[in-house]
Amino acid sequence: MDVHGQGFSSGTQSEEEMDLRRGPWTMEEDLILVNYITNHGEGRWNSLARCAGLKRTGKSCRLRWLNYLRPDVRRGNITPEEQLLILELHSRWGNRWSKIAQHLPGRTDNEIKNYWRTRVQKHAKQLQCDVNSKQFKDTMRYLWMPRLVERIRAAATASSNNNIIDNTTTTTTTTITELPNGQLIPQNYDVGCAQVKQNYTRENSCTGASSDSFGTTTTQVVSPTSDLTDYYFRGNDFQAAPIQFPESLTSPLGYFNHGLDFSTADQSGWFGGDMTENTWNMDDIWFSQQQSYNGI
DNA sequence: AACGTAACCAACCGCCACTCT
DNA sequence: GAGAGTGGCGGTTGGTTACGT
């Protein structure tokens, strides 16, 4: 229990008395903890910390073990499959990080939480919408998640087909089916909403030759028959297909003009420079606005 | 090269629920 | 039943690194 938490209330030694360490763990401390747990197992963290000779709280030892030292822990490089699961499970359970983490082997709730806060919430903030808003959730479901699926498919196709593009790919959205044994299976179904998308020039697009963590950019290229693929690259020139907006819809530029403050977006680098690390690009923003407009 | 800012992530904090005595 | 001890969870903070000017 933490020295400041309830676990060290009256009757226990104060932090000063125990001379407890705080802050980053040293390699020596890590070794002591790993060796002790290897020999004695987990559990009873406070007594474990004392017996191991660590000047740490049990809570700190537990956290260090679970989030960092555990042999099966995986850190960094969250795969598209994992991103997809996180998005889906968060839409289902909200901030139940530990519950979500249970379905991502080797991932800790802390890492998933950090991922969500740094990568996902950031873009909600940039969009000036709440991360729990329907607009944001719909954008995740109808835009990011299908793109992740496309990206996963592309990777699978590339590896199994010597980089031959899968021409049967269609725009999809994803749902996760939970099997009785708890295993989660991503499943896809076609959606029509993306058909209203598209058509802008390179000037108002952030599309580039590489992809971000959500497959924002290259998914269009790898999925030529997708509804997202009415534009393509020809050498260095960005080509756009003829505009086919439904009458009820406003073109992207129309929305750009009244839907968002793009002076801010521009200042923050959304329009220029390397956009490859941005989760959101212009079609994302337009799509989001479109959904809001249509009351989706 | 120096500085400022943004992004990332390990660690901490506070609360709650559970178990044990 | 009450209180202490503990584990677990979600939220937050602060240090470090990366990046941009």
| Strand B atom within 7 Å of A275 CB | no
Question: Between these two residues, A213 and A142, which has the higher pLDDT value?
Answer: A142
Residue A207's identity, in one-letter code, is: T
Q: Which nucleotides of B are covered by protein (CB under 7 A)?
A: 7-17
Interatomic CA distance for residues A275 and A184, integer angstroms: 32
**Can you tell me the mean pLDDT for A121-146?**
76
Token pair listed for A224: 């030529």
- First CA to last CA across chain A, in angstroms? 46
Token pair listed for A36: 């002790």
**Does residue A13 register a pLDDT over 80?**
no
Burial of A94-104, coded b for 16+ CB within 10 Å and e otherwise, reads eeebeebbebb
**Can you tell me the mean pLDDT for A221-227?**
26
CA-atom Rg of chain A in angstroms: 24
pLDDT in tens, A72-126: 888 777 888 888 888 888 888 888 888 888 888 888 888 888 888 888 877 777 6
**Does residue A231 register a pLDDT over 70?**
no
Residue A37's identity, in one-letter code, is: I
Interatomic CA distance for residues A107 and A104, integer angstroms: 6
Which nucleotide is at minimal CA–C1' distance from A44? Answer: C6
- Please tell me the number of Cα atoms within 13 Å of A34 on its side-chain side: 13
Token pair listed for A273: 């420079």
User: What are the boundaries of each domain within chain A?
Assistant: 6-69, 133-294
Strands A184-190, A172-178: pairing is antiparallel
Phi, psi angles (nearest 5°) of residue A177:
-100, 130
pLDDT in tens, A35-49: 888 888 887 888 888
Helices (H), A41-72: 45-52, 58-64
C1' of B8 to CA of A243 (Å): 40
Interatomic CA distance for residues A215 and A80, integer angstroms: 8
Architecture of domain A6-69: Orthogonal Bundle (1.10)
| Strand C atom within 7 Å of A99 CB | yes
Interatomic CA distance for residues A147 and A154, integer angstroms: 10
Q: Which of residues 146-205 of A touch strand C (CB under 7 A)?
A: none
pTM of the model: 0.61
| Strand C atom within 7 Å of A1 CB | yes
Token pair listed for A113: 């939480």
C1' of C6 to CA of A206 (Å): 51
Burial of A160-195, coded b for 16+ CB within 10 Å and e otherwise, reads eeeeeebeebbbbbbebeeeeeeebebebeebebbe
Which nucleotide is at minimal CA–C1' distance from A126? Answer: B6
Which nucleotide is at minimal CA–C1' distance from A75? Answer: B9
Q: Which nucleotides of C are covered by protein (CB under 7 A)?
A: 4-12, 20-21
Which nucleotide is at minimal CA–C1' distance from A67? Answer: B10
| Strand C atom within 7 Å of A109 CB | yes
